[in-house]
Structure formats: C-alpha cells, structure tokens
C-alpha cells in the first residue's frame, strides 16, 4: 500500500502505541491503526491481538506502508546555541582522539616494518656469509682429498692391534740379549761414590740456547756415548743439539708448531726424536736438523716418548688417552691402544718388552707390547696425576712421580710399593732418571735431588734454579749430571 500525500499538504503518520513518527510504518487491517513495525511485532509476540480494539491479529496480517522518509526532529534540549556548540565540541574532540590513536597505530606499524626489514637484511648477510664459507670449505676439502695419502698408506693401525710377528721376534731377541748381559754385568770401578756425588758442583751453565720471547727449556736428553752432546726442547718450539764442552749449537730442528715436550738422542745414529703439543713425533738428523719422518697418529698433544733398545721403534704417550708403537724409519704406527685416561709419561723397561706409563687418573700402568692383553698390571697409590716414570737399569725397580709431591718406588717382582719419597710441600717432580748402574736416582722438581737406591737416603741437592726443573740426566758412571729448567738454563754438574 502506497500513501501519496495530496499536493500542497504535509502528511504525518503517528504510531498508535508510541505516538511518534514511525520509521517503518505498518497498518493493522483489523483496526486501521498505524504502528511502528518493531513495536507491534514485539506486542504480538506476547499477545496476538490488536492493541487498539483487542481483535485477533498476526504479524502476517500487517500491511507495510511506503511513505516518504521522515527525519525526526531534534529534541528540545538540542536546539539552543550552547548545546549545539557543545555537541560540535564533543564531535571535534572525538575526531581528534581518533586521529591521535590512528597516528599511534601508524607509528607502531612503521616501527614493526622497520624491524622486520632490518632482520631480513641481517638474515640475507648471514646467509651470504655462510654460503661463502661453505663454498670455501668445499674447495679446501676438494684440495685436501686431492693431496691426501691413499688408503694403502695408513698412518696408524686399529686400536688394540698387536705388532707383526717379525717385529715381536726382533723385540724378543733383543730382550733375551739384554737380559743375559745384565746378569753378567759388574759394577764399574769408575762409578762415582756417594762422596763424589756430594762433592758435585756446577761446572757450566748457559741460558742463551732458547728464545727469551718464549722462555724455558721443556725437555732434555744426554747422548749415551758422548756426554758432551745434549738435546734440548723448548717452549719456543725449537730443538737444539748443543755441545756444552765447546759451548756451541751443533744443529737446530724447527719442525714443531707448539711447545716441545720430550727429546731423545739415538745412541748409535745421527738421529734425534722429539714430541710436541702439536700432536706429532718428529724424527730428524742431528747433524743438520733436517726432518727425516713424522709420526702423526695422535689426535691431541704428545707428552712423552721413549726409544726402544733396538733403536728402530719409539713409544709415544698422548693426552688423547693412547700410547703408540711406531717405526722411526717409516713413520708408520705398528700398534696403539687407548686407555681410560690421558697419558702423561712413558718409558721402556730396559729389556724392551714391557713398559710403564703415567696417567692423569693417578695410576701407573704396566703394559706388554706383545699383547693381546696389553695392560698387565696397575700400580695405584698416588693422590695426583702422574708426571714421570723411570726404570732402574737392573730391571727390578720402577720410580714414579706425581703432583702429590711424592716419588714412589715399585718392586716389579713383588708388584708392591716398597718406598715413598716425600718431597717439600708443593714440589712437583717432573723428571726422573736412574744412572746406568741403578745405584742413584735423580729427581727434578723445584730443585734437583740425588738419592742412593739401597738406603734411599738423600745424597745431594742442587737448588740453584729460578724455574721448575724439566729434565735430569746422569752421565757416564754418574760422574756428571745435566739439568734443564724453565728458567732457560742448561746446567752441567760434575
């Protein structure tokens, strides 16, 4: 139903319930009254009758009127100028507040976008760097594979492997020979007496062999047949062969990249051996210092080496918990075994079949090179890491030093500790050496002490060092004593 107003007149509908102009007018066919649609629907939901005459009425009976849109007049309190100004002010404040919140939101979004762009740029730089490093590593690996030795030239055997039968036969033959000659050997008439040891004094001293920039001699050996020749290894990575009688350096080996830990002079050939914290054992010519071979079986620093009586093989002890038995001429490792702790020192028994090692777990271990059970006995008793081991030439006794400021003597026949030498509090012995007769034991720590082996009495003590003593070696018939120290000094006592 469409209601069209008569030209020139103003038509106004009013709701029979509220009396106001309806926004959605509807008419009841029962009473003919006009209602606001939402009000009459609400009424009919509770009472299905026409509110004017009470006759029955349903929502479906209502007739929608199409009339011109009516704008409701403002309430009377909104028609004054002050009220209008307040309404305008409220609308302005609301607009400004909304504008401020919008600016804050825009600033937050801008900061988040800036941070995201920075992270993206940083990630791109990291990816580019990693890609470059990956390419360089691939290139280096390709070059290494191209120059690496083939599988037919291994540097080390499997752990717990035994030497070949021909090598074992050679070692056993040498052991039998040495054992027979030892039983027949008489004490030399020229052997120094206890009084001679007491009368020893400093014969020579030099501190100019090794660099002052990396001060300290860390290893020492004395040539068995020519006591004028000594070898010293230093913190400066160098090994020098030195003639102390002529006060001159014979040769220098420069093949190590870190501190030298042990040096050995071959008794019958112009060969020197040295170990280092650079994980290698070097074999070199003592005449000119040129390298002959390198043993690279270990994965951590090598702390000690010992040359076999045959002069063809060397034992090495490393912080990687392994000892290795290697051929000095080929540089190949013939046998190696991993123990429970890092090895700090190692030395062959005079017969060359068994050997002893000191370890970081306070234990002295005895090994049999023939296997298959390498570790044949353990000596326990130290209260600190073992720093040095040494065998008496008679083959019956072994000495061990540790960080507990003691030196212990072990009987290899009864497998017992029969004597403990207590050093001064805080003194750590790092070097031990029996003379060739087995009558005297030299102990190097904060000073050098010489003990007589039968009574284990202290005969003499040399305390002229400003650094820890790192090496002691008796000369022929115990009539001289060579010492090395971290104070850079090489001293000869006679």
Report residue 360 as tokens. 């970081």
In what helix (H) or strand (E) does residue 272 lie, and over which residues does it extend?
Answer: strand 271-276
**Sheet containing 25-27: order of strands:** 34-36, 25-27, 63-64
Distance CA 231, CA 343 (A): 23
Report residue 342 as tokens. 């890092």
pTM for the model: 0.67
Residue (of 245, 128, 137, 195) closest to 490 by Cα position: 245
Confidence (pLDDT) at 464: 80
Is the bond preceding 9 in cis, omega lying within 30 degrees of 0? no
Per-residue pLDDT of 434-482, as tens digits, reads 998 889 999 998 889 999 988 999 999 987 888 889 999 999 999 999 9
Per-residue pLDDT of 375-417, as tens digits, reads 888 999 999 999 999 999 888 899 999 999 999 999 998 899 9
User: Which residues contact residue 55 at a Cβ distance below 8 angstroms, ignoring those fewer than 6 apart?
Assistant: 30, 31, 49
Per-residue pLDDT of 118-156, as tens digits, reads 999 999 999 999 999 998 888 888 776 655 443 333 333
Mapped onto helix, strand or coil, the DSSP state of residue 218 is: strand
Is 444:158 a contact under the CB 8 Å cutoff? no
What is the distance of C-alpha 195 from the center of its chain? 51
In what helix (H) or strand (E) does residue 121 lie, and over which residues does it extend?
Answer: helix 81-147
- For the cut 70, the answer to whether the pLDDT of residue 115 exceeds it is yes
> Quick one: what percent of the chain has pLDDT higher than 70?
91
Distances (CA, A) of 363 to 263, 380, 408: 24, 5, 12
Confidence (pLDDT) at 169: 87
């Amino acid at each position: 139903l469409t209601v069209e107003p008569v030209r020139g007149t103003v038509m106004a509908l009013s709701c029979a319930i509220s009396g106001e102009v309806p926004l959605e007018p509807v008419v009841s066919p029962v009473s003919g009254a006009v209602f606001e649609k939402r009000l009459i629907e609400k009424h009919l939901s509770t009472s299905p009758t026409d509110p004017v005459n009470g006759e029955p009425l349903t929502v479906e009976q209502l007739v929608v009127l199409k009339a011109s849109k009516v704008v409701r007049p403002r309430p009377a309190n909104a028609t004054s100028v002050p009220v209008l100004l307040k309404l305008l002010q409220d609308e302005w404040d609301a607009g400004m507040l909304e504008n401020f919140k919008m600016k804050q939101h825009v600033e937050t979004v801008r900061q988040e976008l800036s941070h995201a762009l920075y992270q993206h740029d940083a990630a791109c730089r990291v990816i580019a760097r990693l890609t470059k490093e990956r390419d360089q590593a691939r290139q280096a690996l390709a070059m290494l594979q191209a120059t690496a030795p083939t599988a037919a030239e291994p540097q080390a055997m499997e752990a717990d492997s035994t030497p070949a039968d021909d090598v074992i036969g050679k070692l056993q033959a040498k052991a039998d020979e040495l054992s027979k000659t030892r039983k027949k050997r008489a004490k030399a008439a020229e052997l120094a007496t206890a009084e001679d040891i007491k009368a020893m004094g400093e014969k020579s001293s030099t501190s100019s062999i090794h660099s002052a920039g990396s001060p300290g001699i860390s290893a020492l050996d004395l040539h068995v047949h020519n006591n004028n020749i000594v070898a010293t290894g230093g913190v400066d990575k160098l090994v020098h062969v030195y003639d102390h009688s002529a006060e001159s350096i014979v040769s220098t080996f420069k093949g190590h990249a870190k501190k030298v830990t042990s040096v050995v002079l071959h008794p019958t050939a112009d060969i020197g051996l040295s170990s280092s914290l650079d994980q290698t054992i070097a074999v070199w010519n003592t005449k000119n210092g040129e390298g002959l071979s390198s043993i690279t079986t270990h994965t951590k620093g090598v702390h000690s080496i010992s040359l076999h009586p045959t002069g063809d093989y060397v034992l090495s002890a490393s912080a990687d918990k392994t000892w290795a038995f290697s051929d000095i001429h080929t540089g190949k490792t013939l046998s190696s075994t991993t123990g429970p702790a890092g090895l700090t020192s190692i030395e062959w028994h005079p017969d060359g079949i068994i050997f002893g090692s000191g370890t970081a777990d306070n234990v002295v271990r005895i090994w049999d090179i023939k296997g298959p059970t390498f570790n044949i006995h353990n000596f326990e008793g130290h209260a600190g890491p073992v720093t040095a081991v040494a065998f008496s030439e008679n083959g019956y006794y072994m000495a061990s030093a540790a960080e507990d400021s003691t030196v212990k003597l072990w009987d290899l026949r009864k497998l017992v500790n029969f004597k403990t030498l207590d050093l001064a509090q805080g003194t750590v012995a790092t070097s031990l050496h029996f003379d060739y007769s087995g009558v005297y034991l030299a102990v190097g720590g904060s000073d050098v002490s010489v003990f007589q082996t039968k009574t284990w009495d202290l005969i003499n003590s040399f305390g002229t060092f400003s650094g820890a003593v790192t090496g002691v070696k008796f000369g022929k018939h115990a009539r001289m004593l060579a010492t090395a120290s971290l104070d850079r000094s090489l001293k000869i006592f006679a």
